[in-house]
Amino acid sequence: MTSTDRAAGPPRSGAPGGAAEPVLRVEDLRVGFRTSRGAITPVDGVSLELRRGETLGLVGESGCGKSVTSLSIMRLLPRDTARVTGGCISFGGQDLAELSERRMRAIRGNRIAMIFQEPMTSLNPAFTIGDQLAEPLRRHLGMSRAQARARAVDALGQVGISRPARLVGQYPHELSGGMRQRVMIAMAMACEPEVLIADEPTTALDVTIQAQILELIRDLQEATGTAVLLITHDLGVVAETCDRVAVMYSGQIVEQADVGRLFAEPRHPYTRGLLRSLPAMNAGADRLALIPGSVPPPDDLPPGCRFAPRCDRRFAGCDHTRVPLVPTGEDHDTRCLLYPEAS
């Protein structure tokens, strides 16, 4: 937790010892939305822990509550329709819900930063790259215009942009998607945040650029000790970058484990389905496996296990009991009746 262990690499597997104290802890988070069709709960009891220097993957299909979870952490949910109805988000030992809006603003972009999915639209078209990069520096670090500009050039160099001095004077529309995402990362990392939330940072980019961007995030993370919450629907990305994974389905975490363990022995039928549906280079199958059916609508959830209607291993008990998320192995939690709590 001190600056001396900055150089230490991220703990690849649940590292024992001092690093275990989480920077960010989400406990039993519930978020309610008011919609024209009544109240829904897109996030229903999500708990996460993010330790210093580690990357946690939050995986799930669209609408499962990944992004709502991340916006709740930033306290950026749309105020008029969404509300955190339960649970607690603590950052550095502090309950974020208790902070004033002013103190929360001092954390956003400074100690918790965020990268968005769409690099093409996340930059303001009316300002140059340099102006936009300078914004968090001036706001949070109180730099002068000249200092911020010099720092912006450095930051662009750090994210692997050649000729950064030229780029600071350019407008976003003159840059490619990959370049813009690098700029977004430079902006997010400018204040060396303790937590970086990356919401599908590579979804809009083509595959070669994806790999570069992921590598860049990993490099910066190793240099700064930032904890990364990587939100994605892409298990390939997870395998490549994450230390731990939480799989979300319909507003709940259904399985959470160390990345190696999750890929080696997935337990929850949903996770298994996801892994089966990954295209594999060496497999001869000409059709990818599918998970039948679709996600239940949030205003009409099954009373028991939410995945039950689509599950190939469903039995009578699945439809009636609410299934809890329980530890089913060492550093491995599963929300499935097939896997009873390990003692």
Partner 1 sequence: MPDTTTPASAAPGAAPGAPAARPRRDAGTLRLLLRKPLPTAGLAIILAWTVLGLLAPLVAPFEPNRPDTAIKLLAPSAEHWFGTDSYGRDIFTRVLYGARLTLWTGLIGVGISFAVGVPLGAIAAFRGGRLGGAVMRLMDALLAFPQLILAMAIAASLGPGLLSAMIAVGVVGIPEFARIMYGLTLSLKEREFIEAGRALGLTTPAILVRHVFPNALAPLLVRASLGMGFAILTAASLSFLGLGVQPPTPEWGVMISEARGYIITGEWWLATFPGLAIATSILGFNLLGDGLRDVLDPRLRTSR
Minimum CB–partner distance for residue 136 and partner 1 (Å): 5
Q: In angstroms, how far is CA 211 from the centroid of its own chain?
A: 17
- DSSP codes, 166-214: HHTTS-GGGS-HHHHHHHHHHHHHTT--SEEEEESTTTTS-HHHHHHHH
Q: How far apart are CA 101 and CA 99, in angstroms?
A: 6
Minimum CB–partner distance for residue 75 and partner 1 (Å): 9
Q: In angstroms, how far is CA 17 from the centroid of its own chain?
A: 24
Q: Which stretch in 51-59, 111-119, 242-250, 328-336 sits in contact with partner 1 by CB under 8 A?
A: 111-119
Q: Could you tell me if 117 and 170 are in contact, meaning their C-beta atoms sit under 8 angstroms apart?
A: no
Q: How far apart are CA 132 and CA 136, in angstroms?
A: 8
Q: Which is nearer to partner 1, 203 or 260 (CB)?
A: 203
Distance between start and end Cα atoms, the chain: 31
**Could you say which of 8, 20, 76, 289 contacts partner 1 (CB under 8 A)?**
76
Establish if 109 lies at the interface with partner 1 (CB under 8 A). Answer: yes
**Could you say which of 55, 72, 122, 256 contacts partner 1 (CB under 8 A)?**
122
Q: Which is nearer to partner 1, 193 or 304 (CB)?
A: 193
Q: Which stretch in 126-134, 205-213, 220-228, 303-311 sits in contact with partner 1 by CB under 8 A?
A: 126-134
Q: Which is nearer to partner 1, 185 or 247 (CB)?
A: 185
Q: Which is nearer to partner 1, 220 or 318 (CB)?
A: 220
CA atoms within 13 A on the CB side of 318: 19
Q: Which is nearer to partner 1, 187 or 253 (CB)?
A: 187
Query: In sequence order, what are the beta bridge partners of 163?
Result: none
Q: Which is nearer to partner 1, 74 or 274 (CB)?
A: 74
Sign of CA dihedral 33, 37, 39, 42: negative
Q: Which is nearer to partner 1, 109 or 269 (CB)?
A: 109
Which 3 state secondary structure label does DSSP give 252?
strand
Q: Which is nearer to partner 1, 181 or 334 (CB)?
A: 181
The site for partner 1, by CB under 8 A, has a size of 34
Q: How far apart are CA 113 and CA 310, in angstroms?
A: 36
β-pair type (82-91, 94-95):
antiparallel
Interacting residues with partner 1 between 151 and 190 (CB under 8 A): 169-171, 173-174, 184, 187
Minimum CB–partner distance for residue 64 and partner 1 (Å): 20
Task: Quote the radius of gyration of the chain (alpha carbons, Å).
Answer: 21
Minimum CB–partner distance for residue 187 and partner 1 (Å): 7
Q: How far apart are CA 132 and CA 173, in angstroms?
A: 13
Query: In sequence order, what are the beta bridge partners of 82?
Result: 33
Q: Which stretch in 82-90, 108-116, 219-227, 287-295 sits in contact with partner 1 by CB under 8 A?
A: 108-116
**Could you say which of 15, 61, 63, 118 contacts partner 1 (CB under 8 A)?**
118
Q: Could you tell me if 92 and 195 are in contact, meaning their C-beta atoms sit under 8 angstroms apart?
A: no
Nearest to 255 by CA among 323, 336, 322, 330: 336
Which letter does DSSP use for residue 108 in this model? B
Interacting residues with partner 1 between 187 and 246 (CB under 8 A): 187
Minimum CB–partner distance for residue 90 and partner 1 (Å): 19
Minimum CB–partner distance for residue 18 and partner 1 (Å): 29
**Could you say which of 35, 94, 124, 176 contacts partner 1 (CB under 8 A)?**
124
Binding interface with partner 1 (CB under 8 A): 74, 76, 80, 104-110, 113-114, 116-118, 121-128, 135-136, 139-140, 169-171, 173-174, 184, 187
